[in-house]
């Protein structure tokens, strides 16, 4: 009986951890934009993971990476001291704490189990949304069902159905879940397994330009992984070729190839839509580059007033703007070096992740900055174990 209760407690803690990370990585907006309390709520949702991870032994982190994490956190706090405000200071406190959560994440396999559950939930919701549309011709807005105050942007656009599943919009679905796929690979998963490949295909099926680019980047990483390990080449290339071939056959059989190319041409036109917003944001970044030396712009100060969504330029620009150039260079160098300690394919995945439209006021960015360190401290721990054994 006691054993049964212990198992039930573990299941409960696991479910709470899944719920906490799911909320933290599923952004929502009020009709008038994100409110302060809503931004903070996504960070605070990670508190639900504490009972689960307290059961496990935490990882020892090399002091060099601890110093790095403190430098990054201090750079962000210093930038916000210029123009302190309740919201900005809340992110300045909760953001670094989230980074530490990622850096000191409990047992990699356990955290990967939480991420796998979230990916499966999102994939199921996305497939269900497609099924409902195919049966009824209506778009079922799952995001609005979960967050009644947040308006879903799943819709038909230029003759294409663009669905976002649990997420606000197709681009958000692709960007946030792409990072979760990267996390699970960092934590010991494989880009060639079923979950990763199905997620990559779903990004393409959102018909967001970034999602299609994420799909192609994933396929490049799969191929790169296969050729870097001859013994796994067939195992890796077969599912990847099936995924790519299936997607291309679908386009040919449905006569969608030409419309898709026309659609992409319109979406990538720098004179209109989100592509034009990126052009404006890039021009503003270049024009004000000296503003971010040595420290960044506080959260209370708006970057690029004409831009509808400045983060569309990529999180790399947000890191420069909000952390300052010196801290940004440190972040980029450490992230790429850590990714390289995992594999060359991880360098590809992490480089592309920096183009994602994440904002530093969201937990996903801070989780990324923390979890990308995992290969570094795992490699350090392995070397330490080898020295002890010798």
**pLDDT tens for each residue of the chain, 390 residues long:** 445 777 888 889 999 999 999 999 999 887 655 566 777 888 999 999 888 877 765 556 677 777 888 899 899 989 988 887 777 778 888 888 888 777 666 567 788 999 999 999 999 999 999 999 999 989 999 998 888 888 888 887 767 788 999 999 999 999 999 999 999 999 888 888 889 989 999 998 898 889 989 998 998 888 777 666 555 555 555 565 666 666 666 656 555 666 666 666 666 656 666 667 778 888 888 888 998 988 999 988 888 777 777 777 899 999 999 999 999 999 999 999 999 999 888 999 999 999 998 989 899 999 999 899 888 877 655 444 434 344
At 13 the three-state DSSP class reads helix
Q: Structure pTM?
A: 0.87
Please report the pLDDT score of residue 388 as a whole number: 38
Q: Beta-strand (E) ranges in the chain?
A: 155-157, 160-162
Question: What distance in Å separates the CA atoms of residue 335 and residue 246, rounded to the nearest whole number?
Answer: 34
Task: Look at residue 200 in the predicted model and tell me its pLDDT.
Answer: 93
d(CA 215, CA 209): 10
**C-alpha 383: how far from its chain's center?**
29
pLDDT tens-digit readout, 327-382: 999 999 999 999 999 988 899 999 999 999 898 989 999 999 989 988 887 765 54
d(CA 31, CA 195): 33
Query: What is the Cα 117 distance to its own chain's centre?
Result: 15
**CA distance between the termini of the chain:** 45
CA–CA gap between residue 94 and residue 343 (Å, rounded): 30
Counting other chains too, the contacts that 266-273 makes at CB distance below 8 Å and 24 or more residues apart are: 266/158, 267/209, 268/209
The answer to whether 177 and 364 have CB atoms below 8 angstroms apart is: no
Instruction: Report how far apart, in Å, the C-alpha atoms of 308 and of each of 91, 96, 151, 273, 277 are.
Output: 21, 27, 17, 10, 7
- Give CA–CA dist 251/215, Å, rounded: 15
Give φ, ψ of 30 to 5 degrees.
Answer: -75, 165
């Amino acid at each position: 009986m006691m054993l049964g209760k212990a198992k039930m407690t573990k299941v409960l803690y696991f479910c709470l951890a899944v719920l906490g990370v799911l909320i933290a990585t599923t952004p929502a907006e009020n009709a008038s934009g994100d409110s302060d309390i809503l931004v903070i709520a996504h960070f605070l949702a990670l508190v639900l993971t504490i009972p689960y991870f307290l059961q496990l032994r935490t990882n020892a982190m090399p002091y060099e990476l601890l110093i790095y994490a403190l430098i990054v956190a201090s750079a962000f706090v210093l930038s916000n001291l210029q123009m302190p405000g309740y919201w900005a200071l809340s992110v300045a406190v909760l953001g670094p704490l989230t980074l530490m959560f990622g850096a000191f994440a409990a047992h990699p396999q356990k955290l990967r189990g939480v991420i796998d559950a979230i990916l499966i939930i999102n994939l199921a919701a996305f497939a269900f949304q497609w099924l409902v549309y195919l049966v009824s011709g209506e778009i079922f807005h799952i995001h609005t069902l979960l967050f009644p105050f947040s308006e879903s942007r799943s819709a038909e656009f230029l003759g294409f159905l663009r669905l976002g599943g649990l997420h606000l919009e197709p681009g958000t679905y692709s960007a946030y879940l792409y990072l979760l796929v990267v996390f699970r690979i960092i934590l010991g998963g494989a880009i060639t397994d079923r979950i990763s490949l199905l997620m990559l295909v779903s990004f393409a099926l959102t018909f967001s330009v970034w999602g299609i680019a994420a799909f192609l980047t994933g396929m490049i990483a799969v191929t790169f992984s296969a050729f870097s390990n001859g013994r796994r080449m067939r195992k890796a290339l077969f599912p990847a070729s099936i995924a790519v071939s299936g997607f291309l056959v679908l386009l040919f059989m449905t006569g969608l190839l030409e419309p898709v190319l026309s659609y992409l041409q319109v979406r990538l036109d720098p004179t209109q839509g989100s592509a034009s917003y990126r052009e404006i944001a890039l021009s503003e970044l270049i024009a004000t580059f000296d503003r971010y030396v040595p420290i960044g712009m506080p959260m209370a100060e708006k970057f690029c007033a004409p831009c509808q969504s400045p983060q569309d330029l990529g999180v790399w620009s947000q890191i420069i703007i909000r952390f300052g150039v010196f801290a940004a260079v440190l972040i980029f160098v450490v992230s790429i070096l850590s990714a390289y300690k995992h594999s060359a394919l991880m360098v590809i995945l992490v480089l592309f992740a920096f183009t994602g439209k994440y904002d530093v006021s969201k937990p996903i960015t801070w989780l990324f900055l923390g979890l990308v360190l995992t290969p570094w401290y795992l490699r350090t721990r392995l070397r330490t174990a080898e020295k002890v054994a010798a």
